[in-house]
A and B are shown apart, each in its own frame.
Chain A
Amino acid sequence: MQNTVLRVKSLSKSFSSVKALNNISFSINQGDIFAFLGPNGAGKTTTLRILLDIIKADDGQIEWNLDGNTHRLPKANQIGYLPEERGLYLDIPILKSLVYLASIRGMDKTEAKKSALEWLERLGLADRAKEKLQVLSKGNQQKIQFIASILHKPAFAILDEPFSGLDPLNQELFIEFIREINNQGTTILLSAHQMQLVEKIANKIFLINKGEELYNGSLSEIYKTFENKKIIELHYKSALNEDSLKNFKEAENIDVIENSIVKLTFGQNSDLKTVLSNLAQLEGDFDINIHKPDLHDIFLYLVKNH
């Protein structure tokens, strides 16, 4: 049986009159890549900050168990944290910053320097170790941020929006790094809103919207739950007449995106013949794409039916 390293029970938090988190619970096992998924303002960052005691919850319990004993807070050396609000010392040499940040998490300075140089080498930044961070491009600064969060080889890494601001190539690179540190034994809790990236690495997901849980479980289970559903996407080349979509009475969900894409979700019992017949009667010029629901579709479906 896998060891539970983090258990969260009935967490709630309000900011003035806004309920940021409403009674959410989840647990993470050792070795998991657990993804917190939701749109901006869903409560992801608030949850992560509460876990690290940066802000206080109004209610709820948090239990960390990274060393065989239960604690309210983890030790500094057990945790790696990549905050959503990126920031490092801009006018200090990169290597010095990395060593300092690893040292406040309990890592020996010599070891930190060696490890930092190894990471910089892998990211193609070894020759810039003595330069100041401010001379690096934004993408490279992101890489340094990432190194700073995992340099001390934490048992548990919290990565808040690790893919934001990265180009597609660097997003793939970060996915590789996350897989790698996970294989080396670091449990990962990450938050993101790029569902297609999360699908590639997470084994468990927590879907959250407006501070409330939509789904909490394994990625495979949620696919299994939705595998009998079908999505028909209509990509309009001509003007869309939304009134004509009323004929699809058997559709469980109809989404119109930017007035040019229509997503129709059908359940297991939908009669495909009727659906196709209705499609044939639709006005306008459009392409058809039929596929099983991906995580994004599932999320939209859950939000609508929440």
Chain B
Amino acid sequence: MLLLSSALYFGGKYALSESIPEINVFVLNDNNGTLTKILKNNFKVWQLASDQKYIFIKELNENKNNVLLDINNGIIKLYAYKNNRDIKKLKKYLDIYHQQIEMQRLGLSADDLASVLSPASTEETFIIKDNSSNRLILSYFFAGLMILAVFLSFAYQFTAITGEKQLRITEQIVSAISPQVWMDGKILGITLTGISSMITYSLLFIFGGIIYFQFTGASVLTILEYLHFPSIALFIPFALIGVLIWNAILAAIASVITDPNNSGKSSLMMLPVVFVIASFLVTRDPDSGLSVFLSWFPLTSASSMPMRWAITEVGIWQLIGSFLILLLTFYLLRKIAAKIFRVSILLTGKEPSWSEVYKFVKMK
């Protein structure tokens, strides 16, 4: 894990680092030398004679690093072998060239242009500002942990539920305990197993973080700035019920699967990711109708409500209300999961269709 973290850090740093452009820029018709002047500090620049243009373009297949900029009546024609990172960088300098030409045409000085383009001068005062970005990062962390716990539980769903069904042991067991007790035991057991794995991974990430801080030279104590304990006290129960809800849904799906290798329903195990990703929409505008809905809707609220709470003002009644809906949803889902399991215990052949599963739920 530490090796992986280090590899990701250094690899990422390398990938994002500024590299020296490899292209050779040839300029045609830059009569006053303005473009050459702008480019020469960042690129290797040459002037090209007009009669060489077509031969140059023809040979681009071989001279793959060569680029031609042909200025013609204010339009710059660009010829290159392919579009790449260097070309994108080159285009930024072409924008600067364009601005300078326009400034000359309009008779503006560089100071005039800077003044026009400068942002509005404002003095900002916000009521909610204390560590809100840190709290948001913390809420991301808990959303990540929640999805991690669900995924770590993923493998156990098949071992514990579909596996037992395949072994035909379930009939023996539910003759001793009720399907509800069996299902509750599975959901709780799978959740605890997922959480224990999650704690192990979290500790490894913390060690990785410490190493990261060592490399970047920042103080390890920086991490303490993110530990906002009231937020943690709020996020833990939301994340916990969120994991239980998803495990109840996945347990219900696992109980109708007879062969995980050939079942189309296995792909539904990816469902939690969709809803957790959707919950991130609240960070765009936490007070919009959509964000309010996501923070109350039980399949997203476990991660959305903590995110909203971190970045905007959320009343205590909203927190309590959203949490109660989460609890109620979990209570109902575990009942539904047990109902589906009860009927599907004996279905070891053809998998039931969704309409049949719906009938199971409606059964007495």
Contact = CB atoms under 8 A, between A and B. Distances in A.
Report whether chain A binds chain B: yes
Interface of A: 49, 52-56, 76, 79, 81, 83, 85-90, 101, 104-105, 148-149, 158
Given A54-B346, A55-B346, A56-B364, A81 B175 contact: yes
A105 B176 contact: yes
A89 B169 CA distance: 7
A175 B19 CA distance: 84
A79 B177 CA distance: 11
B338 to A, nearest CB: 13
Interface in B164-198: 167-178
B66 to A, nearest CB: 65
Given A55-B346, A56-B363, A87 B176 contact: no
A211 to B, nearest CB: 17
Best-buried of B169, B345, B346 by chain A (most CB within 10 Å): B169
A83 B177 contact: no
Nearest to A149: B172
Interface residues of B, number: 18
B98 to A, nearest CB: 71
A90 B167 contact: yes
A87 B170 CA distance: 8
A52 B167 contact: no
A81 B176 CA distance: 9
Nearest to A85: B168
Contact of B173 (A53, A104, A158): A104
B177 A104 contact: yes
A88 B167 contact: yes
Contacts of A89: 167, 169
Contacts of B342: 54
Nearest to B345: A54
A52 B175 contact: yes
Contacts of B231: none
25 contacts: A49-B346, A52-B175, A53-B178, A54-B175, A54-B345, A76-B175, A76-B176, A79-B175, A81-B171, A81-B172, A81-B175, A83-B171, A85-B171, A87-B169, A87-B170, A88-B167, A89-B167, A89-B169, A90-B167, A101-B173, A101-B176, A104-B176, A104-B177, A105-B176, A148-B172
Interface of B: 167-178, 342, 345-346, 348, 363-364
A205 to B, nearest CB: 23
Contact of B167 (A54, A76, A87): A87
A291 to B, nearest CB: 40
A53 B178 CA distance: 9
Contacts of B175: 52, 54, 76, 79, 81, 83, 158
A94 B169 CA distance: 14
User: For chain B, what secondary structure do more than half of its interface residues adopt (helix, strand, loop), or is it mixed?
Assistant: loop
B177 A87 contact: no
A130 B37 CA distance: 84
Nearest to B170: A87
Given A79-B175, A87-B169, 6 more contacts: A49-B346, A76-B177, A81-B172, A85-B348, A87-B167, A88-B169
Binding site secondary structure of chain A:
loop
Contacts of A83: 168, 171-172, 175
B172 A101 contact: yes
Contacts of A76: 175-177
A85 B167 CA distance: 10
Nearest to A48: B175
Contacts of A148: 172
A56 B345 CA distance: 13
Nearest to A51: B175
B85 to A, nearest CB: 53
Given A54-B174, A54-B345, A76-B176, A87 B168 contact: yes
B177 A54 contact: no
Contacts of A101: 172-173, 176
Nearest to A74: B175
A43 to B, nearest CB: 15
A12 to B, nearest CB: 14
A88 B346 CA distance: 15
Interface core residue of A85, A89, A148, A158 (most chain B CB under 10 Å): A85
B225 to A, nearest CB: 48
B114 to A, nearest CB: 73
B243 to A, nearest CB: 26
Contacts of B172: 81, 83, 87-88, 101, 148-149
A165 to B, nearest CB: 14
Query: Nearest 4 A-B pairs (CB), nearest first?
Result: A87-B168, A81-B175, A76-B176, A83-B171
Contacts of A53: 178
B53 to A, nearest CB: 75
Given A54-B175, A76-B176, A76-B177, A86 B346 contact: no
Most chain B Cβ neighbours within 10 Å, of A83, A88, A90, A158: A83
Which has the most chain A C-beta neighbours within 10 Å: B167, B174, B175, B176?
A: B175
Contacts of B174: 54
A136 B176 CA distance: 25
Nearest to B175: A81
Contact of A54 (B168, B169, B171, B348): B171
A52 B364 CA distance: 16
A197 to B, nearest CB: 23
B175 to A, nearest CB: 4
Contacts of B364: 56
A87 B171 contact: yes
A49 B342 CA distance: 12
Contacts of A56: 363-364
